[in-house]
Amino acid sequence: MSRVTLSRYLIEQTRSNNTPADLRFLIEVVARACKEISHAVSKGALGGVLGSMDTENVQGEVQKKLDVLSNEILLEANEWGGHLAGMASEEMDNAYQIPGKYPKGAYLLVFDPLDGSSNIDVNVSVGTIFSVLRCPNECFSQNDALGEEAFLQPGTRQVAAGYAIYGPQTMLMLTLGDGVKGFTLDRELGSFVLTHDSIRVPESTAEFAINMSNERHWEAPVKRYVGELLAGKEGPLGKNYNMRWIASMVADVHRILTRGGIFMYPRDGREPEKPGKLRLMYEANPMSFIIEQAGGAATNGHQRILDIQPESLHQRVAVFLGSKEEVERATRYHQE
Ligand code: AHM
Ligand code: MG
């Protein structure tokens, strides 16, 4: 049987589902950039890419060399093709303008170039997360600079989202709003090959993911919920739960897409003015779109993440996502 590469899948989508050709091209370019990032990540110390820069990003986090390199790879790959009106990234304070010498297109690309920074130097899976939005007509101009407001659209308006995970295998997980497909990088072919055709998150689960070291800072509903998970068979939920925490959202979400589970990064008392650690536009929204398209759920404890109207590019949000039953339970506890 012939193998279905990402390119072939995208061409078939263009024919059957009216996926526009420029969106197909956009995904192809992002996938090519992810291959390049995968290559750099896999070289590690041999490529001289480990360790930190002496710079901080807009959120005051020390940038790793690979954060900066991955950001540059994505910008350079995407700026010239004529498919984008602009880009935004975890690693840049403001919207990235398409240089004047290149044509502009209809889409906006938002990304976390290398998620899981704390795992880069210790050889644990990291990844690239991306979200694609349409540029609103009133913001689109060949001449004017693109402002932040063009990007501030709720996650329901995403036309595509995905992530690449750089782990034992490099994989690209993609949704165009019609289910989730998983592609594995065949390094000999140099292509992403469709290996996971219909990804579903099981509705119930006995596995959870949360950074337990923050327990004392959590709000009451999270303390109650995790307390019940830990109580196991003898507690109110009547079953034993297992725990995993990789500290790379891509890797934790990937496990949940594969075998179910609930992932939580709640808001907590460490920085009460911030509603959580993870960023809405390029972490929570694309991951929530993927999880929902695979039959799971994603909320901030109070409402569906995809319905949140963003107020700024680097806005943070609490995240509860994964198997429906558990996400609904955690959300209910916030409402009670
Ligand atoms: P990053 O984008 O700077 O890598 O931060 C996001 C990461 C997520 O991948 C992960 O879920 C979380 O931060 C881990 O946080 P913590 O170190 O607090 O457990
Ligand atoms: Mg991140």
Q: What is the DSSP string of 112-179?
A: EEEE-GGGGGGT--EEEEEEEEEPPGGG--SSSPPPGGGG---GGG-SEEEEEEESSSEEEEEESSS-
CATH superfamily of 6-196: Fructose-1,6-Bisphosphatase, subunit A, domain 1 (3.30.540.10)
Q: How far away, in angstroms, is 95 Cα from ligand 2 center?
A: 17
230/63: higher pLDDT: 230
Phi, psi (deg, nearest 5) at residue 197: -80, -40
Is 75 annotated to bind ligand?
no
Is 283 annotated to bind ligand?
yes
CB of 292 sitting under 6 A from ligand 1: no
Q: How far away, in angstroms, is 116 Cα from ligand 1 center?
A: 5
| Beta strand 126-134 pairing with 96-97 | unpaired
- Among 52-56, 193-197, 250-254, where is mean pLDDT lowest? 52-56
Q: How many CB atoms lie within 10 A of CB 106?
A: 18
Give CA–CA dist 229/207, Å, rounded: 9
pTM of the model: 0.96
Neighbours of ion ligand 2 (CB under 5 A): 112, 115
The band of 54, judged by pLDDT with boundaries at 50, 70 and 90, is confident
For the chain, the average pLDDT equals 94
Q: Which helix (H) or strand (E) holds 273?
A: none
Determine contact, residues 285/159, Cβ cutoff 8 Å: no
Q: What is the pLDDT of residue 142?
A: 66
Second-level CATH architecture of 207-335: 3-Layer(aba) Sandwich (3.40)
pLDDT in tens, 109-149: 999 999 998 899 899 999 999 999 999 987 777 667 899 99
Nearest CA to ligand 1 atom 6: 116
Q: How many degrees, rounded to 5, is the angle at CA 280 between CA 307 and CA 38?
A: 125
Read off the tokens for 56: 């901080």
CB of 116 sitting under 6 A from ligand 1: yes
Q: Compute the average pLDDT of residues 203-210.
A: 97
Q: Compute the average pLDDT of residues 184-190.
A: 95
Q: How many CB atoms lie within 10 A of CB 332?
A: 12
CB of 114 sitting under 6 A from ligand 1: no
Nearest CA to ligand 1 atom 3: 117
Is 114 annotated to bind ligand?
yes
Domain ranges, ordered by start, for the chain: 6-196, 207-335
Give CA–CA dist 269/273, Å, rounded: 9
Q: Strand pairing partners for 127?
A: 115, 165
